[in-house]
Chain A
Amino acid sequence: QQQVKQSPQSLIVQKGGISIINCAYENTAFDYFPWYQQFPGKGPALLIAIRPDVSEKKEGRFTISFNKSAKQFSLHIMDSQPGDSATYFCAARGNTGNQFYFGTGTSLTVIP
């Protein structure tokens, strides 16, 4: 059973456009929601993270929107650049335990 569901599987965006990736979860015990960026041949790197007591967090061109009642959260990449082309994973962790649950990933391609 997939604890965190991610969509879309792939995304193609023009340079300068907005990329939006969505995730949904069921477990209300999750209390930490990071997003990771992974380039081919590399390990995932933490991009930005949010706690459920905050509805939005922005760092540079990257924004997480969090809807606790809907149990959904999304990553918005503003002014998308070709260098943003990578696979993005959402994740969640419970308020006890140490396991992170990852989504299945979104392959983003930004066309120049």
Chain B
Amino acid sequence: ETGVTQSPTHLIKTRGQQVTLRCSSQSGHNTVSWYQQALGQGPQFIFQYYREEENGRGNFPPRFSGLQFPNYSSELNVNALELDDSALYLCASSLARSSGNTGELFFGEGSRLTVL
């Protein structure tokens, strides 16, 4: 069973630039969620994708966008980077919630973004 993999692991950008982060979901999982974890804080929900469509969004501006592909992998795009976007970005895969499962999250190791 292959776990959740994310790339790149670390990257440095300057304010105003754009960034794309990638995630491969765990085998058999059809849902991908993205979370932002600032230093010393808990993860904050950005959005979730299911069947290639956004399926819930947290309190993040539209410059945070995403995609899910037919193989369930996903991308997170952030435009017009700001200093406060510096964080660990976590991808989590899961099965869609149903009466048979809890939709629990399986996290990757994250992409550490630094905005200068």
Name B29-69 residues within 8 Å CB distance of A.
31, 33, 35, 40-45, 48, 50, 55-56, 58
Q: CB within 8 A of A101: which of B31, B45, B109?
A: B45
Which B residues lie within 8 Å of A46 (CB)?
Answer: 104-106
Interface of A is mostly: strand
Number of interface residues of B (CB under 8 A): 27
Q: Does B102 contact A (CB under 8 A)?
A: yes
Contact count band on A: 20 to 34
**Whose C-beta in chain A lies nearest to the C-beta of B103?**
A98
Q: Does A45 contact B (CB under 8 A)?
A: yes
Residues of B within 8 A of A (CB): 4, 31, 33, 35, 40-45, 48, 50, 55-56, 58, 90, 92, 97, 102-110
